[in-house]
Structure 1
Amino acid sequence: MEQASTSEQAQTLKEKQRQERERLILAAAEEVLYEKGYHDTSIDEIAARVGVAKGTVYLHFPSKEELVFAVFLHNFDAFVRAIDEALSEAMPPRQQLETILTCMYGGFYIKQIQLLYNSVDMKRLFEVRREQEPRPWEQLAARIASILEAGKARGDFDSVTPTSVQVATFFSLLSPRSYERLVLGEHMDVQELVQHLKHIYFNGIIAHKE
């Protein structure tokens, strides 16, 4: 029993070391991507910053594309955790949806554009991988659907329109291309953009005449 316990402890330590090494690789990859962009990012430099052999990086991530997408998934998970921390049960459903919009445009998109949307090739790769790995978007969609259902139960939201349509419409507001064009291209203030998006989603674009 004692030998088995020692073996289990060794496996646990080995797994912790593996997880820490993977975390360091992701952090170094993000740094290099910020500094040099996708095409000039090399596995050699990432490995050097972590202090491991190039082959060690490939043990965790079989290609540079896989590593870059892993950086995105890591950031997306952090974004979802930030949403969970920002939301509270006491917060009305509409405010919860507004909080998600603010979190997305308030920081998440700027990181993704800097990391992933700085080349045509990277954009294409990202779109393909998003179809292959829908889990992050499905998790966020489930959260939004739950909030919408709670709002319908309270009488806050239209109960005629299917929740799936309301979710799809909300997702149409979450566009990195819109962020890139309006905020980076037209220099619109992020908070101003979020306010406009909130108004369109909850009030539509029809003028309400007295």
Structure 2
Amino acid sequence: MKKTEEELAACEKYQRILDAAVEVIAERGYFKSPVSEIAKRAGVADGTVYLYFKSKDDVLRTAIDRRFETFYQQIADAFVTIAGPREQLEYIAQVHLESYQVNRSMAVLLQTEMRQSAKFIAEFSHRHLARYIQTVREVVRRGQDMGIFRSDLSDGVVAHCMFGTIDELVSSAIFTGRIYDAKATAAQVMDVLLNGITATKA
């Protein structure tokens, strides 16, 4: 029983450090966020951070990785009951748009701080953007095979257009303080996009 309590306490500290890192970096910027400030926000000693993570970079990568794992798991779970390609694309757009409302600090970090570092941009593109694009491409290809979407268009171009559109909406929301109705806005984005890729019925 004691071991279980210790494990739970360790997990709680681990998560507090991740949450604190995202909040502090979003507020102060990456280079102005020392580990000591992250530890203070998490309510732990500086050394405790290094028990779980090798460096500040490691904390940041882990926080981002966990956020995207949650994102993809949410999509995978929903796709069990959402079968249509149109509906699946709209759901991906909705979850993407909801991201800045679920965790604004993480959204600020992803939309601003992370993009100031060529290293993090490269890592993000390799680790997460590629997976996002691949997920959308698979849905688009299935829609093309079913005759729902035009087969003469590149699924990769469609996927990048979708990501870019939603990414810009999220950035706009962060910088202006605007709050979108994620479901309604996702439907509008898909309406604009899908009207351009829907196959013409004979």
Q: Judge same fold: TM > 0.5, yes or no.
A: yes
Alignment of 1:114 onto 2:108: yes
- Following superposition, the deviation at residue 183 of structure 1 comes to 6.7
Question: How far apart in 2 are the matches of 1:116 and 1:159?
Answer: 33
Deviations 1:6-27 (A, max 9, x none): xxxxxxxx99997765434213
1:19-168 to 2 correspondences below 5 Å: 22-33=14-25, 36-38=27-29, 41-48=33-40, 50=42, 52-58=44-50, 60-88=52-80, 90-108=82-100, 110-117=104-111, 122-125=114-117, 128-133=119-124, 134-168=126-160
State the structure with bigger RCO (CA 8 A, min sep 6), 1 or 2: 2
Higher mean Cα deviation, 44-53 or 72-81? Answer: 44-53
Letter in 2 for 1:143: T
Whichever of the two has the greater Rg, that structure is 1
Deviations 1:118-146 (A, max 9, x none): 66xx5312x53131341222222222122
Question: How far apart in 1 are the matches of 2:19 and 2:148?
Answer: 42
Alignment of 1:187 onto 2:178: yes
- Given the alignment, which residue of 178, 202, 205 partners 2:194? 202
TM-score by length of 2: 0.71
CA-based RMSD of the aligned residues comes to: 3.6
- Following superposition, the deviation at residue 90 of structure 1 comes to 4.9
Contact 2:89 2:136 in 1 (8 A): yes
Question: How far apart in 2 are the matches of 1:116 and 1:151?
Answer: 30
Question: How far apart in 1 are the matches of 2:15 and 2:174?
Answer: 31
TM-score by length of 1: 0.69
User: Relative to structure 1, is the Cα distance of residues 174 and 66 closer, same or farther in structure 2, using a 3 angstrom cutoff?
Assistant: farther
Matched positions, count: 190
Contact 1:25 1:47 in 2 (8 A): yes
Question: How far apart in 2 are the matches of 1:90 and 1:65?
Answer: 37
Letter in 2 for 1:115: L
Unaligned runs of 5+ residues in structure 2 are 1-5, 197-202
Local SS of the residue matching 1:174: helix
- Following superposition, the deviation at residue 98 of structure 1 comes to 0.2
- Following superposition, the deviation at residue 89 of structure 1 comes to 5.1
Question: How far apart in 2 are the matches of 1:112 and 1:52?
Answer: 21
Deviations 1:29-56 (A, max 9, x none): 235456x443664422433455654234
Question: How far apart in 2 are the matches of 1:159 and 1:104?
Answer: 26
